[in-house]
Amino acid sequence: MALNTIEFTALIGLGALVAGFLGALTGLGGGVVIVPLLTVVFHVDIHYAIGAALVSVIATSSGAAAAYVREGYSNVRVGMFLEIATTVGALVGAGLILYLRVSIISIFLVWCRCIRLMRR
């Protein structure tokens, strides 16, 4: 079944709302929901899905961070340190993604998931 532009946009918007809600509620990045949604459900190339998720999570993270800082739940010094470290990691990851095949990325993600499941 082929979707027209309006249907596709509405479904992506609904998925983004769910991702934003879960991201703000749990502290997870919305990319945890957005990337699988785009790749598995909508068959978007994983490189485009990751890029779209990163751009969309910026707004979600900024809004949630402002709320947490306002309520006094955040340590701004630790947050600034993490911001620097994650920025460096993001730049390295973005550089690597240009040279990795989708199969290698998939294997890495499955490996990370297996490690996480074994720790339970």
What would the pLDDT profile of 11-40 be if each residue is shown by its tens digit? 988 988 888 788 778 777 677 888 888 999
* Same domain? 34 vs 64: yes
- pLDDT score recorded for residue 94: 83
Q: Is the pLDDT of residue 42 over 70?
A: yes
Work out how many domains the chain is built from and give that number.
2
* Same domain? 32 vs 57: yes
The domain in which residue 87 lies consists of 78-120
* Same domain? 62 vs 12: yes
**CA–CA separation, 6 and 20 (whole Å):** 21
> pTM score > 0.75 for this model?
no
**CA–CA separation, 95 and 24 (whole Å):** 28
What would the pLDDT profile of 44-100 be if each residue is shown by its tens digit? 898 898 888 888 877 777 887 888 889 998 888 998 999 899 899 989 988 888 888
Q: Give the DSSP per-residue string, the chain.
A: -PPPHHHHHHHHHHHHHHHHHHHHHHS--THHHHHHIIIIIS---HHHHHHHHHHHHHHHHHHHHHHHHHTT---HHHHHHHHHHHHHHHHHHHHHHTT--HHHHHHHHHHHHHHHHHT-
* Same domain? 7 vs 39: yes
